[in-house]
Amino acid sequence: RQGLSRSRGAKRPDAQGGRGGFVPPFVSKAMSAAGAEGELPTKVQELLAGPDGELPEALQQLDVQILEMICSEILEGHAGSAVAWDDIAGQQQAKRLVQELIVWPMLNPHLFKGARAPPKGLLLFGPPGTGKTLIGKAIAANIKATFFAISASSLTSKWIGEGEKMVRALFAVAGVLQPSVIFIDEIDSVLSARKSEGEHEATRRLKTEILIQMDGCDPSAADRRVLLVGATNRPEELDEAARRRMPKQLYIPLPCADARRSMIERQIGPGSSVPSALSDADLSKIVDKTKGYSGSDMRALVQEACQGPVRDAVALHAEKLATLSEADLRPLNIRDFQMAARAQRASVQPSEIQRYEEYDARHGARY
Residues that bind ligand ADP (CB under 6 A): 88-91, 128-134, 231, 255, 263, 295-296, 299
Residue pair 231/242 in contact (Cβ under 8 Å)? The answer is no
CB of 21 to ligand ADP, least distance (A): 32
Residue pair 177/171 in contact (Cβ under 8 Å)? The answer is no
The nearer residue to ligand ADP, 41 or 90, going by C-beta atoms, is 90
CA dist., res. 206 & res. 212, Å (int): 10
CA dist., res. 95 & res. 362, Å (int): 21
CB of 89 to ligand ADP, least distance (A): 4
Q: Which residues contact 229 (CB under 8 A, 6 or more apart)?
A: 121, 122, 123, 124, 135, 136, 139, 181, 182, 183, 184
CB of 131 to ligand ADP, least distance (A): 3
What string of DSSP letters covers 273-312? SS-B---HHHHHHHHHHTTT--HHHHHHHHHHHHHHHHHH
CB of 113 to ligand ADP, least distance (A): 31
CB of 317 to ligand ADP, least distance (A): 32
CB of 229 to ligand ADP, least distance (A): 10
CB of 311 to ligand ADP, least distance (A): 23
Residue among 254, 271, 229, 255 at smallest CA distance from 127: 254
The nearer residue to ligand ADP, 245 or 260, going by C-beta atoms, is 260
The DSSP secondary-structure symbol of 74 reads I
Burial class (CB in 10 A: 0-12, 13-18, 19+), 253: buried
The nearer residue to ligand ADP, 66 or 268, going by C-beta atoms, is 268
